[in-house]
């Protein structure tokens, strides 16, 4: 070998190409930690890792805010003096600068005075507590903070907030896993930075070709979980199945659905999917309990505000004020647990529905809805057309009529967000990919105003939230079913001839239409 060949360094591999990423599928599993079997030293290590990550996040967020204020003041001074900005001017700290500060912070030693049993004091040096945590979660925290500040600079998201102990879902992220880290047969996980085995309940098994890549230790409402993300490389059989499913499009293996407020999912075949009566009763019961607890919490909050104000005005002494009442904290924990329970019920329902839909169909069509824009501002939505509702609001907000509009709009936004449309679309999309299926997105414009039989488009076709009557051909149908069929025909126009012009209806929908049918001679097409 020549000297030039020896001096040449091998180039670093810059991630995976687009072709390699296209051949990979990712899946995340969530397992419960067996907390009763965890040793005291390992428990302390877990709590310390979570606390250190929170400390790093808050520390560098404070440094970011300080640096941002300094740079903004400097910019204003230079603009007032008509001077140009210096080269390399920036308003935020970079990721590499924060990582360099982290290494310096780790090298600092903590000096403490320790008293013996005899009363003698000793000055001792200890290494920094951040050295007890693995470097992976600390570096991932810095990356997370830098990404959040970049989104804030682009005005896409709000300013990052400080993390408080016990008031947020705390997690520790490990980017790299070793071969011995996860042992499913014996039921344990070895956390990086610790040699002890963490007992985990593996209630599900991975596929033979799934490789664990990342791991997250999460603490949610006092319960500990392990989230493992796996990587699956597509085989030749999987590629053949994909090609077969891509070319095979029929009315049997294709489904289109419309997301609604009253009924969550309505398909083009006339079926609707929503919570069962038992589940809905449970959710209503939990919601009522939540309202009661929130009222108690708000009352306690008002009392605390008054006490703080008295202290500021020097009316009472500090000893008589309880800033952190134990009952207040207990109420907060109860509310958090209720929210978590409601969330688990909804997520379980969405997982079951998306699993059944992805198993029975290879092609699924949906609207490309931008949900954050739909619920961004309450003033964008219109008031309901019900005159009784408007009268009720007018009586309630007699002095401030503009508040009535905002109230109704906020109520509509709550209904939209309560259905969890975004989460359902996400679940369905990744489950379809694992079952070698395809998700098709179409433009949602005029799907609810267009007739699926004659393509007549008009606002007058949609008479109410659930009733659709075409003003040209006289077809009467459920509005969501008609919209779902329009979504299907937008993606696959040849299916219009295969499916036909019949609009299948459920018995409930047909009975509703018969009860609310207009006096004019309208034709109803159904099976």
Note whether 264 and 207 are same-domain residues.
no
Q: 441, 456, 474: which is the final residue of a domain?
A: 441
- Note down the domain range covering 103: 23-79+89-233
Note whether 344 and 322 are same-domain residues.
yes
Q: Identify whether the C-beta of residue 152 lies closer than 8 Å to the C-beta of residue 91.
A: no
pLDDT for 511 equals 45
pLDDT for 267 equals 85
Note whether 147 and 32 are same-domain residues.
yes
Can you tell me the mean pLDDT for 417-426?
A: 86
When comparing pLDDT for 215 and 119, which is higher?
A: 215
With tokens 């490389």, the residue in question is 233
Report the percentage of the chain scoring pLDDT > 90.
Answer: 14
Q: Identify whether the C-beta of residue 209 lies closer than 8 Å to the C-beta of residue 235.
A: yes
Three-state secondary structure along 282-348? HHHHHHHHHHHHHHHHHHHHHHHHHHHHHHHCCCCCHHHCCCCCHHHHHHHHHHHHHHHHHHHHHHH
Dihedral sign for Cα atoms in the order 225, 435, 16, 92? negative
pLDDT at 193 over 60: yes
Note whether 515 and 465 are same-domain residues.
yes
pLDDT for 292 equals 92
When comparing pLDDT for 414 and 296, which is higher?
A: 296
Give domain status of residue 5, yes or no.
no
Give domain status of residue 16, yes or no.
no
Mean predicted lDDT score pLDDT of the chain: 79
Give domain status of residue 271, yes or no.
yes
Q: How far apart are CA 467 and CA 141, in angstroms?
A: 51
386, two tokens: 């019900």
- For residue 393, name the pLDDT band (cuts at 50, 70, 90): low
CA-closest candidate to residue 502, choices 520, 476, 521, 465: 476
pLDDT digits (tens, 9 = 90+) for 25-40: 888 899 999 999 999 9
What region does 399 belong to: left with phi over 0, alpha with psi -120 to 50, or beta? alpha
Note whether 262 and 185 are same-domain residues.
no
Note whether 217 and 345 are same-domain residues.
no
Give domain status of residue 247, yes or no.
no
Give domain status of residue 292, yes or no.
yes
Instruction: Give the number of domains in the chain.
Output: 3
Q: 233, 262, 287: which is the final residue of a domain?
A: 233
CA-closest candidate to residue 194, choices 57, 34, 54, 39: 39
Note whether 207 and 273 are same-domain residues.
no
pTM: 0.75
Note whether 101 and 163 are same-domain residues.
yes
pLDDT for 34 equals 93
Distances (CA, A) of 414 to 283, 359, 478: 15, 31, 24
Q: How far apart are CA 283 and CA 289, in angstroms?
A: 10
pLDDT for 526 equals 32
Note whether 223 and 128 are same-domain residues.
yes
Q: 198, 233, 268: which is the final residue of a domain?
A: 233
Note whether 348 and 300 are same-domain residues.
yes
Give domain status of residue 18, yes or no.
no
pLDDT at 200 over 90: yes
Largest CA distance in the chain: 102
CA-closest candidate to residue 51, choices 227, 226, 221, 219: 219
Q: Identify whether the C-beta of residue 267 lies closer than 8 Å to the C-beta of residue 505.
A: no
DSSP per-residue string spanning 481-514: HHHHHHHHHHH-TTHHHHH-S-----HHHHHHHH
Give domain status of residue 17, yes or no.
no
pLDDT for 520 equals 34
Can you tell me the mean pLDDT for 371-383?
A: 57
pLDDT digits (tens, 9 = 90+) for 61-85: 999 988 888 888 888 888 888 888 8
Q: How far apart are CA 25 and CA 34, in angstroms?
A: 29
Give domain status of residue 242, yes or no.
no
Note whether 146 and 258 are same-domain residues.
no
Note whether 459 and 325 are same-domain residues.
no
pLDDT for 395 equals 56
């Amino acid at each position: 070998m020549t000297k030039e060949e020896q001096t040449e360094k091998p180039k670093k591999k810059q991630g995976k190409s687009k072709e390699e990423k296209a051949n990979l599928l990712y899946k995340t599993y969530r397992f419960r930690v067996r907390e009763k079997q965890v040793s005291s030293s390992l428990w302390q290590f877990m709590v310390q890792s979570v606390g250190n990550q929170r400390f790093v996040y808050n520390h560098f967020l404070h440094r970011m805010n300080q640096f941002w204020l300094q740079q903004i003041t400097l910019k204003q001074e230079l603009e007032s003096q008509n001077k140009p900005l210096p080269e390399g001017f920036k308003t935020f700290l970079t990721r590499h600068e924060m990582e360099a500060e982290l290494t310096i912070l780790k090298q600092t030693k903590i000096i403490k005075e320790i008293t013996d049993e005899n009363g003698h004091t000793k000055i001792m040096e200890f290494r920094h507590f951040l050295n007890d945590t693995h470097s992976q979660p600390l570096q991932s925290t810095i990356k997370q903070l830098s990404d959040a500040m970049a989104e804030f600079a682009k005005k896409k998201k709000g300013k990052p907030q400080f993390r408080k102990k016990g008031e947020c879902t705390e997690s520790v992220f490990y980017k790299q896993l070793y071969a011995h880290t996860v042992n499913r047969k014996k039921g344990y996980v070895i956390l990086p930075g610790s040699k002890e085995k963490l007992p985990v309940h593996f209630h599900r098994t991975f596929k033979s070709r799934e490789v664990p890549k990342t791991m997250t230790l999460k603490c949610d409402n006092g319960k500990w979980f392990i989230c493992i993300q796996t990587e699956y490389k597509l085989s030749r059989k999987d590629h053949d199945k994909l090609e077969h499913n891509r070319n095979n499009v029929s009315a049997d293996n294709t489904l289109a659905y419309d997301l609604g407020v009253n009924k969550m999912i309505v398909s083009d075949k006339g079926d609707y999917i929503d919570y069962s009566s038992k589940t809905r009763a449970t959710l209503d019961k939990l919601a009522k309990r939540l309202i009661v607890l929130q009222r108690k919490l708000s009352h306690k909050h008002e009392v605390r505000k008054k006490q703080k104000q008295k202290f500021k005005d020097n009316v009472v002494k500090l000893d008589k004020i309880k800033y952190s009442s134990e009952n207040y904290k207990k109420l907060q924990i109860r509310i958090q647990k209720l929210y978590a329970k409601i969330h688990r019920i909804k997520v379980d329902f969405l997982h079951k529905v998306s699993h059944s839909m992805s198993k029975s169909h290879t092609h699924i069509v949906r609207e490309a809805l931008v949900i954050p824009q739909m619920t961004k501002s309450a003033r964008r939505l219109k008031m309901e057309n019900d005159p009784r509702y408007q009268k009720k609001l007018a009586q309630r907000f007699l002095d401030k009529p503009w508040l009535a509009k905002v109230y109704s709009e906020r109520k509509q936004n709550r209904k939209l967000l309560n259905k969890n449309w975004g989460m359902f679309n996400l679940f369905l999309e990744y489950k379809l990919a694992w079952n070698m299926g395809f998700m098709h997105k179409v433009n949602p414009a005029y799907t609810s105003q267009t007739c699926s039989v004659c393509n007549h488009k008009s606002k007058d076709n949609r008479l109410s939230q659930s009733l659709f009557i075409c003003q040209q051909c006289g077809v009467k149908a459920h509005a969501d079913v008609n919209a779902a069929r329009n979504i299907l025909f937008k993606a696959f126009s040849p299916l219009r001839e295969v499916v036909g012009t019949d609009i299948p209806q459920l018995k409930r929908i047909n009975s509703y239409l018969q009860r609310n049918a207009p006096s004019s001679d309208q034709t109803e097409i159904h099976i």
